[in-house]
């Protein structure tokens, strides 16, 4: 198991925390927490096998959050001295005082056992230990291969190392480190009918650089096939709009889960805290335990524990231990994603650990756990799902996505779609998008693939909150079969 980097541990973590928490106590705060974090992020961008941009950033700072007379106060700073930290604690209390006239709901936090813990995510090679030139050379080599069958190739490698130290007035202290990487390549080609592109479907993962060089993903196979997929797509016929049965690959379905289940079951959305921005949810709190979300085959869990998950942590940003919990069981809504305030407000007793702040300068808000659709234990393989379709589409890879502010109406496209005719794939089609209402869609799910079809997909950059924050999150799912889903022709939608 990896250890937390010694240079992070060498920072005066405990001394700064003590200074902040003591000052907050002295000023009468009922609760205070101190979070110091360093986020190292490197992005490499190549275009046509040449380095286009390299950004290597390191964000180091801390935040003090207090509850004073029932009102939140939050302040963040960068000067790593006990005196400066104490001043930031004073600022947090002042923010609470200025905000008091507009606070009508006193803040109370659900209790959490006191933890004293260290946690490191599961990875082998720290990507920041690999020379930038070596990483560029690998991406350039992959790009050069793709350029043999494409006009232009983009390659990108995102790498993040997140280190957090947390302490609160209840006595919890946690120190954590996690790593994630996302390599992606895109090939573009023009033809007489226009241009199109095709991207890799390898998901982002909570792993180290071994993801690019090891056996966790078959990069050679995917890169070899990509130009052929693109060539076929450019020559493919335009889809005829109408209702089709869909077999959706995990590389596409993860995003539909993210948008239509993940966000819809965030309790802050259901309670209206995001109403002016990200939106609310059709899955309102009064429907907990009753809402028929989908077919009886639908079982969805939230977790912050799965190995290599992007939302996986030991402890969240309120000191709550990572957990696994049910969200949809046998098609019925049975749970929400929580933070400590909402858990207390709605009588859950304990938070399920979904508080997260994306940087030292932002306050923790409820963010998404790894929300995953469970496979059927003896479920079919993907080709067996396809065999059960007379007229349909098999959709692979995510691309365009959009969903309304209550998570009812969505529209997704994909990297590629294959026509299914009499149970067999019959070549790609172009210009497709699927459009549905969330509960109609999930209730139309007739079959769920087996564990052999299950893949952990996800994203680095889920946006939410004001000021805006981004969060990494994984979604596992099997292939699944949906009946009679509306398919659009996007060229016709454009009025052509």
Partner 1 sequence: MTTPQELVERALALSSADACVVLADDASSANLRFAGNTLTTNGVAHSTRLTVISMSGRGVGVVSRSAVRPDGLADVVAAADAAARAAQPAEDARELVSGVPASASWDEPVPPTGIEVFEGFAPALGEAFSAAESGGRRLYGFAEHTLTSTFLGTSTGLRLRHDQPTGRLQLNAKSADLKRSAWAGVSTHDFTDVDVAALDAGLARRLDWAKTRVDLPAGRYETLLPPAAMADLMVYLFWSAGARDAVDGRSVFAKPGGGTRVGERLASMPVTLSSDPAADGVACAPFVTAHASSRQSSVFDNGLPLAATDWIREGRLESLLQTRYSAELSGLPVTPAIDNLIMRGPGDGRSLEEMIASTRHGLLVTCLWYIREVDPQTLLLTGLTRDGVYLVEHGEVVGEVNNFRFNESPVDLLGRLSEVGRSHQTLPREWSDYFTRTVMPAVRVPDFNMSTVSQAS
Residue 356 near residue 471, CB atoms below 8 Å: yes
Q: What's the CA gap between 176 and 5, in Å, rounded?
A: 10
Residue 459 near residue 384, CB atoms below 8 Å: no
Q: How far is the CB of 300 from partner 1 (least distance, A)?
A: 21
Q: Which is nearer to partner 1, 243 or 277 (CB)?
A: 277
Helices 82-99 & 13-26 angle (0-180, nearest 10): 40
Distance of CA 11 to the CA centre of its chain: 30
**DSSP secondary structure, 62-81, as one string:** EEEEEEETTEEEEEEE---S
Question: What SS3 state is found at 370?
Answer: strand
Q: How far is the CB of 154 from partner 1 (least distance, A)?
A: 9
Distance of CA 370 to the CA centre of its chain: 7
Q: What's the CA gap between 78 and 358, in Å, rounded?
A: 15
Task: Considering only CA atoms, give the Rg of the chain.
Answer: 24
Q: Which is nearer to partner 1, 163 or 312 (CB)?
A: 163
Q: Which is nearer to partner 1, 72 or 460 (CB)?
A: 72
Q: Which is nearer to partner 1, 119 or 410 (CB)?
A: 410
Q: How far is the CB of 219 from partner 1 (least distance, A)?
A: 22
Q: How far is the CB of 75 from partner 1 (least distance, A)?
A: 5
Q: Which is nearer to partner 1, 77 or 127 (CB)?
A: 77
Q: What's the CA gap between 386 and 394, in Å, rounded?
A: 7
Q: How far is the CB of 102 from partner 1 (least distance, A)?
A: 5
Q: How far is the CB of 76 from partner 1 (least distance, A)?
A: 4
Place of tokens 């059960």: 388
Q: How far is the CB of 92 from partner 1 (least distance, A)?
A: 8
Q: Which is nearer to partner 1, 55 or 225 (CB)?
A: 55
Helix, strand, coil content of the chain in percent (nearest 5) = 25, 40, 35
Q: Which is nearer to partner 1, 48 or 383 (CB)?
A: 48
Residue 207 near residue 238, CB atoms below 8 Å: no
């Amino acid at each position: 198991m990896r250890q937390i980097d010694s240079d992070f541990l060498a920072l005066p973590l405990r001394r700064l925390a003590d200074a902040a928490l003591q000052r907050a106590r002295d000023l009468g705060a009922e609760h205070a927490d101190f979070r110091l974090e360093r986020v190292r992020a490197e992005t490499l961008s190549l275009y046509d096998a040449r380095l286009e941009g390299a950004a290597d950033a390191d964000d180091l700072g801390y935040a003090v959050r207090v509850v004073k007379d029932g009102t939140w106060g939050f302040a963040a700073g960068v000067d790593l001295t006990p005196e400066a930290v104490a001043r930031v604690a004073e600022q947090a209390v002042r923010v609470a005082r200025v905000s008091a006239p507009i606070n009508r709901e006193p803040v109370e936090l659900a209790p959490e056992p006191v933890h004293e813990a260290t946690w490191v995510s599961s990875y082998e090679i720290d990507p920041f230990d690999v020379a930038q030139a070596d990483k560029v050379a690998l991406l350039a080599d992959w790009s050069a291969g793709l350029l043999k069958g494409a006009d232009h190739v983009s390659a990108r490698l995102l790498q993040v190392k997140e280190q957090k130290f947390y302490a609160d007035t209840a006595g919890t202290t946690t120190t954590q480190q996690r790593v994630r990487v996302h390599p992606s390549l895109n090939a573009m080609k023009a033809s007489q009918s226009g241009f199109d592109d095709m991207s890799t479907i390898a998901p982002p993962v909570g792993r180290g650089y071994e993801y690019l060089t090891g056996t966790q993903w078959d990069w050679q196979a995917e890169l070899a096939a990509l130009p052929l997929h693109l060539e076929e797509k450019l020559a493919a016929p335009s889809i005829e709009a109408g209702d089709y049965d869909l077999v959706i690959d995990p590389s596409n379905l993860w995003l539909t889960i993210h948008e239509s289940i993940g966000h819809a079951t965030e309790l802050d959305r259901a309670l209206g805290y995001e109403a002016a921005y990200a939106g609310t949810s059709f899955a309102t709190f009064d429907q907990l335990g009753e809402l028929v979300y989908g077919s009886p085959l639908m079982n969805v869990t939230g977790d912050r524990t799965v190995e290599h998950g992007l939302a996986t942590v030991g402890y969240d940003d309120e000191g709550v231990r990572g957990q696994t919990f049910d969200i949809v069981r046998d098609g019925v809504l049975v749970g929400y994603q929580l933070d400590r305030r909402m858990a207390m407000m709605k009588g859950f007793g304990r938070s399920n650990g979904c508080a997260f702040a994306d940087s030292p300068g932002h306050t923790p808000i409820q963010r998404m756990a790894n929300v995953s659709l469970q496979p059927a234990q003896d479920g079919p393989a993907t080709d067996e799902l396809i065999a059960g379709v007379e007229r349909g589409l098999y959709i692979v890879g995510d691309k365009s996505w959009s969903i309304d502010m209550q998570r009812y109406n969505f529209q997704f496209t994909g990297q590629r779609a294959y026509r299914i005719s009499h149970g067999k794939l019959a070549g790609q089609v172009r210009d497709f998008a699927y459009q549905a209402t969330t509960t109609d869609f999930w209730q139309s799910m007739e079959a769920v693939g087996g564990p052999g079809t299950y893949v952990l997909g996800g994203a680095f950059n889920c946006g939410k909150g004001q000021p805006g924050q981004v969060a990494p999150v994984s979604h596992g799912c099997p292939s699944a079969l949906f009946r009679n889903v509306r398919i659009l022709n996007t060229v016709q939608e454009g009025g052509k």
